[in-house]
Structure 1
Amino acid sequence: MKIYELKLEADVDTDPVWCNQCGCNLDLDELPISLELKKELQDWTMEYGEWIDWTNDRLRKNGVDLETEHNQLGQTLSAKIQKELGDTYTVSFSPSRSARHYLNNETTF
């Protein structure tokens, strides 16, 4: 199956590019993008969740700001992917909303 609709979405321990049609995770090494962009995507993905204190399962003090910065960089990276892939593909960005989840479920920090 040819994939023409891609989604950039970071998650823990996985590559950040997905088929926006079937939801399968795509291997960055299989994408026809520059090595520099692949490195930027890997670095961005490694920072996913830095706004969460995983040990205590709670939001870090500046968690919302960290997630916002992560999402802004993700938006920029999705535009870079789109530029490198050209008109053959459509690339969308799916921002993280986990900090808001924690905010809705916590009463204190």
Structure 2
Amino acid sequence: MQYCGSHKLKKLRVQADISADPLWCDRCLTNLDIDDFSLSKGLKQDLQEWIYDYGKWIDWENDGIVPNGVLLEQQHNDRGAELTKKVKQTLEGQYEVVFFPSTFAKIIVGD
């Protein structure tokens, strides 16, 4: 796959965001189609479920966090780290895979 101009995709980022697939080019931050990767149906489903949970700690109306928001974000990040390990194992030798956790709640509370 070609991204970042003419550079070959070498490093993937697993990151949650609203209405986006969980895989990104770590260099240019292009959101990548999860179906372009040889992941099992079960792992793809787990990643999609993880994405759907993104932002449950955010109070969208008040641009803040919900009660226990820091804990909810940490639980989401813990799950993302687990899933990243599975992606790494599956794509070993093809791509370097890194996890990029959410930091919204921690930034809001100044942690």
TM value normalised by structure 1? 0.90
For 1:19-98, what aligned pairs fall within 5 Å after superposition? Answer: 19-98=25-104
Q: Structure 1: give runs of 5+ residues left out of the alignment.
A: 105-109
Q: In structure 2, the residue corresponding to 1:92 is in which secondary structure?
A: strand
Please list every run of at least 4 consecutive aligned residues from structure 1 whose deviation after the TM superposition is greater than 3 angstroms: none
* Cα distance between partner residues in 2 of 1:48 and 1:32: 24
Larger proportion of helix: 1
Q: Specify the code of the residue in structure 2 equivalent to 1:52.
A: I
Q: How many residues align structurally?
A: 104
RMSD: 1.0
> Which digits, 9 at most, give the CA deviation of each residue in 1:81-100, with x for residues without a partner?
01011122110000100001
Q: Structure 2: give runs of 5+ residues left out of the alignment.
A: 3-7
Structure 1 equivalent of residue 17 of structure 2? 11
TM value normalised by structure 2? 0.88
Pairwise CA distance, 1:31? 1.2
Q: State the identity %.
A: 42
* Cα distance between partner residues in 2 of 1:47 and 1:93: 16
